[in-house]
Amino acid sequence: MTPRAASPLLLGIESSCDETAAAVVNAEGHVLADVVASQIALHAPYGGVVPELAARAHLESISQVVAAALKALPRAGAELDAVAVTTGPGLVGALVTGVEFAKAFAFARDLPVVAVNHLEAHLLAVHLRRDADTSDLGYPYVGLLASGGHTALYRVDAPDRIVLLGQTRDDAAGEAYDKVAKLLGLGYPGGPAIDALAARGDPRAVELPRPMLGKKGLEFSFSGLKTAVARHVERRGAPADEQALADLCASFQRVMVDALAGRAVAACEQVGVEDLVLAGGVAANTGLRARAQELCAAACLRLHIPPIASCTDNAAMIAYTGALAFARGERADDQGLQVYSRDPARRRGRFRPDGTLIPHR
Ligand code: KG4
Ligand code: ZN
């Protein structure tokens, strides 16, 4: 299968955590379809993602999600150039559903498969649906990726040249939000609930320790802050009223966003890059957006924040990252993923030389 001269069009599939998603996107970041089936309600009673439940829910919804995304195509999938799928990092049982679906779909349509790293996709999602805020962005830029599973700073020199600058030593930022929210009885996911309460609270009401205070470098640490909130509640009891709850949330959020935005700006200064991109679910946080804006203005940096749909887990970012990789000639089978292919050169193991499938024993 030779890539087209025009921008390749890919189906993207994402199932690494608790969203089952499919999208159709080209290598210019034009989004034809972007479908997300969220499992938030399923995991809410547990205060976090339950891996086994996530895997089953992906299996139940993936066919419908892909079918919904394909409706955007004028002719049933004929013009797709490849299928991109998240191969990691993520929950193993969750990932395998997307990967196996992508392999089977690609075999049925005789399309190549492109393997996509979920974190790289988050960092490139800023190029989707480019508007006035993001259209002037080129490479390099610094990406702050803050989600439920990851918190790290990267220098993005090109789509295939991404360098890790520093990451959290313990909890991810979203994880800290979710754990503090659970402690305060605010439900799951905790980020949006704390964010909303923080807007009504006094950020100086409760003194909380600043993570990594006085430590140079670009690492984060959030578990001490989470423990400090737990200690505060143990000593003083649960917040007595709505205002006390809002004050505690605002105090927690202030320390979180100062750490995130402060280190992100320090990273830009350290590597001499003038563009900062926020990525991941925590980039939806209003406090983080405002603080990053303030610090970037003071440091003469340009801040780029993708729309929320591009920040949280989605398949458009997977399809886009896959489309760029596809255009560079990357194929999942060259990277060790066993694909089912009609092309003998790309076939691995499971087919007889005449092309018939070798059944499982
Ligand atoms: O990127 P994402 O959708 O999923 C992954 O973890 O990959 O991020 C989800 C995380 C959750 O921890 C959630 O609490 C957090 O992002 N989050 C927020 C906000 N919205 C979502 N955290 C702080 N403020 C928000 N407004
Ligand atoms: Zn993610």
pLDDT(249) > 60: yes
As a whole number of angstroms, the distance between CA 173 and CA 222 comes to 7
Say how many Å lie between the CA of residue 191 and the centre of ligand 1.
6
Please work out whether the CB of residue 287 comes within 6 Å of at least one atom of ligand 1. Answer: no
Residue 135 banded pLDDT, cuts 50, 70, 90: low
Alpha carbon distance 4, 11 (integer Å): 15
Q: Tokens in use for 203? A: 């950020």
> 217 or 4: which carries more pLDDT confidence?
217
Of the CATH numbers 3.20.20.20, 3.20.20.70, 3.40.50.300, 3.30.420.40, which one belongs to the domain with range 9-133+311-337? 3.30.420.40
Is the Cβ atom of 239 under 6 angstroms away from ligand 1?
no
What is the reported pTM? 0.90
Q: What is the mean pLDDT of the chain?
A: 90
* pLDDT tens, residue by residue, 155-204: 999 999 999 999 999 999 999 999 999 999 998 889 999 999 999 999 99
Output the residue whose Cα is nearest ligand 1's atom 2.
281
Work out the pLDDT band at 103, boundaries 50, 70, 90. Answer: very high
Fold annotation for 141-306: Nucleotidyltransferase; domain 5 (3.30.420)
**Residue 310: CB within 6 Å of ligand 1?**
no
Residue 232 has pLDDT above 90, yes or no: yes
Residue 9 has pLDDT above 90, yes or no: yes
Share above pLDDT 90 across residues of the chain, in percent, rounded to a whole number: 78
What does each C-alpha distance from 183 to 21, 36, 45, 224, 325 come to in angstroms? 30, 29, 14, 14, 42
Q: For the residues 306-310, what does the mean pLDDT come to? A: 92
- The conformation of residue 127, written as its DSSP 8-state character, comes to G
Do 141-306 and 9-133+311-337 fall under one CATH topology? yes
Q: Mind listing the pLDDT tens digit for each residue in 43-75?
A: 988 888 899 999 999 999 999 999 999 998 876
The rounded Å distance from CA 235 to ligand 1 centre is 28
pLDDT of residue 333: 81
Q: Which residue has the tokens 């059944």?
A: 359
With pLDDT > 70 as the criterion, what percentage of the chain qualifies? 91
- Provide the pLDDT for residue 152: 97
d(CA 166, CA 268): 12
| Residue 148 CB less than 6 A away from ligand 1 | yes
Q: Using CA atoms, how far apart are residues 69 and 180, in angstroms rounded to an integer? A: 36
Question: What is the band of 339 on the pLDDT scale with cuts at 50, 70, 90?
Answer: confident
Overall average pLDDT of the 132-143 stretch = 80
Ligand 1 pocket, residue 330 CB under 6 Å:
no
- How many Å lie between the centroid of ligand 2 and the Cα of residue 131? 22
Mention every residue, 6+ apart, whose C-beta is less than 8 A from residue 105: 11, 13, 66, 83, 111
Check if the beta carbon of residue 54 is closer than 8 Å to that of residue 185: no
Report the DSSP pairing between strands 275-279 and 302-304: parallel
Instruction: Write down the pLDDT at residue 3.
Output: 46
* Predicted confidence (pLDDT) at residue 229 exceeds the cutoff of 70: yes
Q: Give Cα separations from 44 to 53, 97, 280 (angstroms).
A: 12, 22, 20
Taking the C-alpha atoms of residue 75 and residue 148, their distance in angstroms, rounded to an integer, is 37
pLDDT attached to residue 213:
76
CB neighbourhood size of 51 (10 A): 16
Contacts of 226 (CB under 8 A, 6+ apart): 171, 176, 179, 180, 183
> According to the model, what pLDDT value does residue 336 have?
73
Does position 2 have pLDDT exceeding 80, yes or no?
no
Q: Name the residue among 153, 151, 148, 143 with its Cα closest to residue 123.
A: 143
When pLDDT is averaged across residues 14-30 and rounded to a whole number, the result is 93
Ramachandran angles phi, psi of 157, nearest 5°:
-85, -30
Q: Give the pLDDT band of residue 214 (cuts 50, 70, 90).
A: confident
Q: Please give the pLDDT value at position 250.
A: 98
- The burial class, CB within 10 Å (0-12 / 13-18 / 19+), for 110 is exposed
Q: Which residues pair with 158 in a beta bridge?
A: 161
Say if ligand 1 is within 6 A of residue 306 CB. no
Calculate how far, in angstroms, residue 178's C-alpha sits from the geometric centre of ligand 1.
8
- Output the CA angle 9-96-353, nearest 5 degrees: 75
Q: Where are the domains of the chain?
A: 9-133+311-337, 141-306
Ligand nearest to the CA of 38: 1
Cα–ligand 1 centroid distance for 170 (angstroms): 17
| pLDDT at residue 284 greater than cutoff 90 | yes
What is the total residue count of the chain? 361
* Mean of pLDDT values over 283-305: 97
